[in-house]
Amino acid sequence: MNADEAQELSERDQLWASLRPLRAEIDRLADGGFDSSEWQRQLVAIIARIVAAEMDYQAREARKE
C-alpha cells in the first residue's frame, strides 16, 4: 500500500467513524421516521455523499483487480 492509498483508507475510515454519533438518528430514518426537518435533510445529504464516495472507491478498487 502506497502513501496515497493509506491516506485514502484513513479518510474513508474517518468518514464512516463520523457517523457513529449519529446512529440513533440514522436508525430513526431507516425505520421511516421522517419529519422533513432541515436537520434530517442535511443528514441525508451527508449520508448520500459518504455512500457516493464509497461507491466511487469500490469501483476504482474493482478496476484494479
In the prediction, which pLDDT does 39 show?
A: 94
| DSSP notation for 31-45 | TT-----HHHHHHHH
Residues with pLDDT less than 50, the chain: none
Q: Could you give the CA distance from residue 45 to residue 62 in angstroms, rounded to a whole number? A: 26
pTM summary value: 0.77
Mean pLDDT across the chain? 90
The set of cell numbers assigned to 15 is 468518514
Give the burial class of 57: count Cβ atoms within 10 A of its Cβ; 0-12 exposed, 13-18 middle, 19 or more buried: middle
In the prediction, which pLDDT does 42 show?
A: 94
In the prediction, which pLDDT does 15 show?
A: 85
